[in-house]
Structure 1
Amino acid sequence: MSAHILIAEDDIRQATVIRRYLEHDGHTTVVVHDGRAAIEEARRRRPDLLVLDVMMPGTDGLQVCRVLRRESDLPVLMLTARTTEEDLLLGLELGADDYMTKPYSARELMARIRTLLRRARPAEVPEQPAHDRVLRVGALVVDPARHVVALGGRRVELTAGEFKVLAFMAAAPERVFTRRQLLTHTRGTDTYVTERTVDVHILNLRKKLEPDPARPVHLVTVFGVGYKLTDGSAGSDPSEAPGDEPKEYR
């Protein structure tokens, strides 16, 4: 799977290493060293994926992600030296599809990139297996093979992480999933990711799917357990209780 990949990294040595690995894997690359150049190049060439360093001079990676996410669904893999939970969750909230903390393994970086490219190109799959069937929950339609979500006939744009959580829940509507179950399905055994990552995805999904995100009727919190996806016909679930999620992620 050959792709055109934009690398935004102010550390010239690291950028060179990433470029060499990507080109060895058959991809074409462009390297920029600041956030403004990353935005301009992404607009000009429309790459298949952006490898984005957070700590860049001037316009940093978080600002780049914020700007580009308003304009497109370009897959974004963030690289960050920041290891606090809040920093990592902020990147996801802004729309990053995945992130890695420095120092990182080049082999793992390539594996993450391959995964993101596969998610971004579902139409290349020659046949649709049973687990990729179109999922319907009330007015919500989730098409895993085409990576399309619609609510009431209106298309909804999701990041790869948001889509994976929603599709997993849509396959079993009304079933209650714990944060750990959703996290494991979305991120595997990534040791840098915490269960609060799920709260961020649910928060963002509610903003995009709920008539009133503060009183969700589709993505409902089940107090002390986790979340479930409903068709919205019953209104806000009485089992939803304040305090179940961290205040800033409700």
Structure 2
Amino acid sequence: MNATILLVEDDLSIGEMVVSYLTSEGFKLIHAHDGEEALEMFSRQTYDLILLDLMLPKLNGMDFLRQIRAKSHVPILILSAKGGEADKAIGLGFGADDYIAKPFSMIELSARVKAAIRRATHYVDPFPQSESRVITVNELSMNMDNLTVSKKGVEIKLTAKELQILQLFLTHPNKVFTKQQIFNSVWNDDYYGDENVINVHMSRLREKIEDQPSAPQYIKTLWGIGYRLGEF
């Protein structure tokens, strides 16, 4: 796929196995062994994906993830032995795009990597060039040219998935979306009933765009059905 991946993994045996397999699949792998080294490597070049272990020396995976998300929307797939729902939710909440628990098969890892890169690169522009490329709903605006979001003129930092979810609603103002439809549209993958992924991303998005996340006005919940853009 000619994609460059930053692997952040301190376990040498796992790292060598991942590098060997994904290289054979056509990817270019850059291997960092701790969080500080990974930050330095990330500053040197552009990557198509980050494979991130959580339990890292010097700078742990969550802190690395927070720092990357403050400046980049690069897809991040977490690799971790901490596979509990709480850890998964925390990782997704901090901006990871996917989560695979150790031990994992190389076939599954390769499939997840390809899917994440495919989702990130196959961006569908909903606007012809002749139309306005800024959507404004009440005090919230989304610029489709540079994918920035602002509220009352102040920019709001969103992750790639949060941007895609918000874009989905803003470009379909009269449509009600089920969780399955959101997952299929944003993740471009089959939905297996993992509501936690949608719930975490929706919660984080609401925290950033709503005045009162517990009483959302922009993305409304229709209990038992799904979500729709609020009416103003």
| TM-score, normalised by the number of residues in structure 1 | 0.73
Task: Output the CA distance in 2 between the equivalents of 1:91 and 1:160.
Answer: 14
Amino acid at match of 1:148: L
Task: Output the CA distance in 2 between the equivalents of 1:17 and 1:35.
Answer: 20
Task: Output the CA distance in 1 between the equivalents of 2:224 and 2:99.
Answer: 28
Amino acid at match of 1:176: V
Task: Output the CA distance in 1 between the equivalents of 2:229 and 2:212.
Answer: 15
Unaligned runs of 5+ in 2: 128-132
Aligned residue pairs total 222
> Partner of 2:90 in structure 1?
90
> What does 1:50-199 align with in structure 2 at a 5 Å threshold?
50-122=50-122, 132-134=125-127, 138=137, 140-141=141-142, 143=144, 148=147, 150-151=149-150, 157-170=157-170, 172-183=172-183, 185-186=185-186, 188-189=189-190, 194-199=194-199
1:16 aligns with 2:16: yes
Deviation, 1:175, is: 3.4
Q: Secondary structure at the match of 1:173?
A: coil
> Partner of 1:208 in structure 2?
208
- Determine if contact 1:5/1:51 at 8 Å carries over to the other structure: yes
Deviation, 1:87, is: 0.9
Structure 1 residues 185 and 85: CA distance shift in structure 2, 3 A:
farther
> Partner of 1:238 in structure 2?
none
- Determine if contact 1:3/1:27 at 8 Å carries over to the other structure: yes
In terms of mean alpha carbon deviation, does 1-10 or 167-176 score higher? 167-176
Deviation, 1:150, is: 4.0
> Partner of 1:44 in structure 2?
44
- Determine if contact 2:126/2:171 at 8 Å carries over to the other structure: no
Task: Output the CA distance in 1 between the equivalents of 2:8 and 2:146.
Answer: 26
1:194-238 deviation per Cα after TM superposition (whole angstroms, max 9, x unaligned): 3122121112222333344344221112344432223x51xxxxx
Q: Secondary structure at the match of 1:71?
A: coil
> Partner of 2:130 in structure 1?
none
Q: Secondary structure at the match of 1:115?
A: helix
Task: Output the CA distance in 2 between the equivalents of 1:203 and 1:3.
Answer: 31
1:159-203 deviation per Cα after TM superposition (whole angstroms, max 9, x unaligned): 343244334444543433343543455554566x73122121112
Unaligned runs of 5+ in 1: 234-250
Q: Percent identity?
A: 34
Deviation, 1:63, is: 1.6
Task: Output the CA distance in 1 between the equivalents of 2:64 and 2:8.
Answer: 10
In terms of mean alpha carbon deviation, does 40-49 or 159-168 score higher? 159-168
Task: Output the CA distance in 1 between the equivalents of 2:213 and 2:227.
Answer: 14
| TM-score, normalised by the number of residues in structure 2 | 0.78
RMSD (Å) for aligned C-alpha atoms: 3.0
Amino acid at match of 1:166: L
1:120-154 deviation per Cα after TM superposition (whole angstroms, max 9, x unaligned): 3347xxxx6xxx423957365585xx783545787
Task: Output the CA distance in 2 between the equivalents of 1:55 and 1:190.
Answer: 29
Task: Output the CA distance in 2 between the equivalents of 1:20 and 1:41.
Answer: 20
> Partner of 1:33 in structure 2?
33
